[in-house]
Structure 1
């Protein structure tokens, strides 16, 4: 080879042929002998990253940047590495440097828009997406990111339109799941329409099933149950999943956890210690399916539905003899290859089966168990006693605070003349998001001085302590809170909720019923206003309720992980035995 370029090309050829050791030696030779050493460091860094030698990879890319700081692709790749390692501030810095070098760098615009959205800077994310679309309007990824940015600002109709445009470009993209999730927030759609859209996705994804038959005979115990999630980390889903994992009877169930998350934290360690743990986010569906078959999984459970990080396309290929869905999504998946969905009769009452492709399996004592943090803030007296006015509050996701929700909350504020409304969400760190919501309340007669917006706080402890600033929590509709409802109750704050017809709009009803407070759930707006009036007519009773709620929650079935898990295991045993029985009699 006569020049450095030929060395680099040869290294790429060796790498493509799987000759990693030889490629590594050649690139290291270039670095040591200052032959195209800048690009050699870059290439070797990418190679090391592929070997999961992350620190070496980052140092090599940083060396390349030190020698030539104005190469946008070096900084972009370093930013991508930081992003995948959840070193967000460093990733942001690199992407911002890329755009200083190349303001139209599509990859940096897309990735930076994602990080801005996750950081509660949704309006900035939207701006970057629109800039990227000027140069590449045919990118489904950019349209999807725009949808996410709009959704995080509570602009649901615009988000649905962006997702639809993404699907017009690529109907198999992740935008489809985002579109379906967003439908669940929108109160203007009938359940029949939402179900039809889920079925369309299922029809698109369903494949000809491989006949997946185990030898006929008795069921072998313990059953191997595999859980698949993109949230095996410090996430709401894991906080509701851990009580099940902890309480599994290992004589009946041998749990496996398949993690589709790049995040690894203390919660991940906890889950890993309680199961056979596999990381799958870098693997294809076919590779994961082979892994699951090799693990001899009897039941495979989806914990994500159509939320971020899901692997529903894996379930479409039937990776286990029995497949189910639970916990992470308030609706059908739309897949015929998922056999059942775990729920309860309060949250999915009679008549809901017709809107599911899965068989609904009702648990007798509720479908979730709330696991409070080990350290809880003290419960203070209702702030109305000191303030002289009532403070309502909601810590729900912004996308759940729809115009119809704002309309009802405005009526409530108008009814109680001196009351205030505290809204807390990470999105309120964005001034444009605050302005958007402030204007919606202003148009309904609520002055700015009656609204308090709060962004993210430093810790989960501080987040829970913020509930001490409100007298009554207001739930959203048609998509209720789950974590926020439980948090309010454990902090002694009563929750006023509207009860709808389907799962997402009945979660708070299920939760409140389990602690004897179903009366706080209303059937319509007038009923909710009457409930609020009744609750606020007796401050002594409000104080008593505040001081008693935490113990009521802790002693209720809402925190009984053992019973919940026993009931889930009964579902597992029944569906597996039924499957084996059917196969024995079909042979």
Structure 2
């Protein structure tokens, strides 16, 4: 294929005709294996198609030809991370950060800050330093506003986030927002996207102020927040929406709180509290935090379902005659230690199956990559069921085909843990070696289900093996779990709201 044909492949890609582009690029590199542009184009087209398992070898081939192309290294890291090769992704981002131009270095550092807690090879100090570097880079030359508290009848709270319209996301937050005492607090909900709505669980209060700020620069938003006299600014999304996290660098309110989406220190200055609990962050880990840690009495992540959910069903093993383990965690959480632990569980439980479902598994190359990784753990494809995306209700119904949910390491489930428990499925996890690895523990302990928290991976394997021997006990647990969960602190956002209100008031007064 000549350069004209390569340009035509590029045009197919730019037009969104990914299948045609991939076929053209593949023909080109078959004819000219030394074509950097061909391999790079193929990798980009595969990634655009979300075929990360195909993008990875293509981008590696491009880098073999031109190792100094740091932008390609960033794209390789994105593909690696998307399907669970987290440690490799961190290494590629780190090299791009060291070797790239200004734009490439900024992108690599931002992505490193986001994914660092999920790398099993990084410790607390490394995560803190990466996030501090990013905060320093974002804050270079910035002068904080640092307004003072304006005494008044009500404390003005501003919660900002990007997912106010998404029911499955907001079940972890909206219960707290709804429970605020409007006689003492004035609420401002700052939305990077559609506003809060009844479908997402929001109970409209006439005095609440709704801000729609999508696309507004952080400096401009900070100025508006300061002018509005906000007393307490609370970040709801953290590293789940990193574009808005640097708002905190502007110090737009006298008190700034990081509640969720951090899974470790933010690395940012100008924070007055990082909200956690005794199960998620240990006292000896506070030295690795850039901000003061405030622990609430129960889980920092209670939830409440305010939309219809499928009924709890009997465990499928009663009819199938074998145990089905499962996970609906995102593909980027499927690290090598996770797959090794899961493979060990299936080896220890003869005849068992593993059902995995996430959107990445819609794509053939991603499925092939995952099966190859399991093959390296001596687990054949006949033991594994892979399913792709679907509606939220359909995802919840999947738990009717799972006996036990297996957690991921070192980055646990959060929303998926809550959903599995609500559907009657025990979630098996470990104590974890970091905050990202203790989210499930926090929820389970508050739910009174500490028996599902193993001390380590060896204990996790033993726990799964032991519990799988008694299907009738599993059936009894499943019948009662939802009611017990609903009555537990894990489903009591109002109680957390009272604690947060006290933290807000104490911090403003201090």
- So what's the TM-score if we normalise by structure 2? 0.85
- Partner residue of 1:522? 454
Where in structure 2 are the equivalents of 1:360-509 lying within 5 Å? 360-457=293-390, 459-509=391-441
Q: CA deviation at 1:221?
A: 3.4
Q: CA deviation at 1:473?
A: 0.6
Task: Check the 8 A contact 2:87/2:120 in 1, yes or no.
Answer: no
- Partner secondary structure for residue 411 of structure 1: helix
- Which of these two proteins has the greater Rg computed from alpha carbons? 1
CA–CA separation in structure 2 for the residues paired with 1:175 and 1:228: 25
Task: Check the 8 A contact 2:114/2:242 in 1, yes or no.
Answer: no
Task: Check the 8 A contact 1:113/1:145 in 2, yes or no.
Answer: no
> 525-534 vs 373-382, which deviates more?
525-534
- Partner secondary structure for residue 453 of structure 1: strand
Cα distance change, pair 569–185 in 1 and its aligned pair in 2 (3 A):
same
Task: Check the 8 A contact 1:509/1:521 in 2, yes or no.
Answer: yes
Q: CA deviation at 1:210?
A: 4.0
Where in structure 2 are the equivalents of 1:65-464 lying within 5 Å? 92=16, 116-117=49-50, 121-123=51-53, 143-168=73-98, 169=100, 170=102, 173-206=106-139, 209-210=143-144, 212-214=146-148, 219-234=151-166, 237-261=169-193, 273=204, 275-457=208-390, 459-464=391-396
CA–CA separation in structure 1 for the residues paired with 2:427 and 2:43: 39
Cα distance change, pair 213–378 in 1 and its aligned pair in 2 (3 A):
closer
- Partner secondary structure for residue 356 of structure 2: strand
Q: CA deviation at 1:416?
A: 0.9
Q: CA deviation at 1:515?
A: 1.8
Q: CA deviation at 1:277?
A: 2.3
Q: CA deviation at 1:134?
A: 11
- Partner residue of 1:572? 504
Task: Check the 8 A contact 2:168/2:392 in 1, yes or no.
Answer: no
Query: In the TM superposition, what whole-angstrom CA distance separates every residue of 1:333-375 from its partner, at most 9, and x where no partner exists?
Result: 1111122111111111222211111111111122012122521
Q: CA deviation at 1:176?
A: 2.1
Cα distance change, pair 185–266 in 1 and its aligned pair in 2 (3 A):
same
Task: Check the 8 A contact 1:383/1:469 in 2, yes or no.
Answer: yes
Task: Check the 8 A contact 2:170/2:200 in 1, yes or no.
Answer: no
Q: CA deviation at 1:183?
A: 1.8
> 246-255 vs 123-132, which deviates more?
123-132
Alignment length (residue pairs)? 486
Query: In the TM superposition, what whole-angstrom CA distance separates every residue of 1:241-298 from its partner, at most 9, and x where no partner exists?
Result: 211211111122222222334x679579865955422233322222111111121111
Task: Check the 8 A contact 1:492/1:550 in 2, yes or no.
Answer: yes
CA–CA separation in structure 2 for the residues paired with 1:100 and 1:531: 48
CA–CA separation in structure 2 for the residues paired with 1:132 and 1:271: 49
CA–CA separation in structure 2 for the residues paired with 1:332 and 1:237: 22
Please give the root-mean-square deviation of Cα atoms over the aligned residues, in Å. Answer: 3.5
Relative contact order (C-alpha < 8 Å, sep 6+): which is higher? 2
CA–CA separation in structure 2 for the residues paired with 1:178 and 1:235: 27
